[in-house]
């Protein structure tokens, strides 16, 4: 029984993340998506908002849990007995950082392995950062995120 954790910032969740979640959920017995509460970044959405957005977009995918955590992913993985860390790979640019993280996590949490899912081609260009940039200038983000998430992003920028 392999239990997997998909950690990330998800600020905000995009169709690229949802694609990884769907595919990972069919590969493992259980999948938890975990929002990292990273003090070093200044996110657009609070951790609670990101957890709620993920719960909403994952509601039709059976057996997905959404949580949040602070601190090292390796500690979280070890303390909760996860076997697998899921990460998505879009392009060579992701590779170097992801490889380093995977190797570091393997040293810190030897009981777990990182499994990479390569992005579906239609989402290869997609990142939360790009979505925020396009939305900031009032562009159309309907191809990047579900409608209700797009509304929340525009609401955030309207308030700023
Ligand atoms: P990070 O965890 O580095 O802050 P994100 O929250 O944006 O970044 O992403 C979490 C994980 O999902 C990372 O492994 C990232 O490479 C992956 N990911 C992000 N966007 C996509 C996409 N469009 N297709 C596949 N994987 C993606």
Residues 120 and 16: their CA atoms lie apart, in Å, by 8
H or E segment to which residue 145 belongs: none
Nearest to 33 by CA among 75, 88, 79: 88
- pTM above the 0.85 mark? yes
Residues 16 and 126: their CA atoms lie apart, in Å, by 6
Ligand 1 pocket member 25 (CB < 6 A): no
Residues 47 and 50: their CA atoms lie apart, in Å, by 5
Ligand 1: which of 88, 89, 95, 141 to mutate, judged by most atoms within 8 Å of the beta carbon? Answer: 88
CATH of 3-159, one of 3.10.129.10, 3.40.50.620, 3.40.50.2300, 3.30.70.100: 3.40.50.620
Residues 142 and 105: their CA atoms lie apart, in Å, by 35
Ligand 1 pocket member 50 (CB < 6 A): no
In contact, 31 and 25? CB cutoff 8 Å:
yes
For the packed helices 128-136 and 147-159, what is the interaxial angle rounded to 10 degrees? 60
Question: Which residue puts its alpha carbon closest to atom 23 of ligand 1?
Answer: 16
The residues spanned by each domain of the chain are 3-159
Note down pLDDT in tens along the chain; length 160 residues: 799 999 999 999 999 999 999 999 999 999 999 999 987 678 999 999 999 999 999 999 998 999 999 999 999 999 999 999 999 999 888 899 999 999 999 999 999 999 999 989 999 999 999 999 999 999 999 999 999 999 999 999 986 6
Q: CA distances (Å), 149 to each of 8, 16, 50, 105, in order?
A: 17, 13, 10, 31
Alpha-helical (H) ranges within the chain are 15-27, 47-57, 73-79, 92-108, 128-136, 147-159
In contact, 25 and 34? CB cutoff 8 Å:
no
CA of 118 from ligand 1 middle (Å) equals 10
Ligand 1 pocket member 8 (CB < 6 A): yes
Phi, psi for residue 84 in degrees, rounded to 5:
-135, 140
């Amino acid at each position: 029984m392999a239990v997997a954790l998909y950690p990330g910032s998800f600020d905000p969740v995009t169709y690229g993340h949802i694609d990884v979640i769907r595919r990972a959920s069919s590969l493992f017995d259980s999948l938890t998506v975990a929002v990292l509460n990273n003090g070093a970044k200044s996110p657009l959405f609070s951790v609670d908002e990101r957890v709620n957005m993920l719960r909403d977009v994952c509601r039709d995918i059976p057996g997905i849990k959404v949580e949040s955590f602070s601190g090292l992913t390796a500690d979280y993985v070890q303390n909760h007995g996860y076997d697998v860390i899921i990460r998505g790979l879009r392009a060579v640019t992701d590779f170097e950082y992801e490889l380093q993280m995977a190797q570091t996590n393997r040293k810190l949490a030897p009981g777990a392995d990182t499994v990479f899912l390569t992005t579906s081609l239609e989402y290869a260009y997609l990142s939360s950062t790009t979505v925020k940039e396009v939305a900031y200038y009032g562009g159309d983000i309907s191809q990047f995120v579900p409608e209700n998430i797009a509304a929340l992003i525009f609401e955030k920028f309207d308030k700023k």
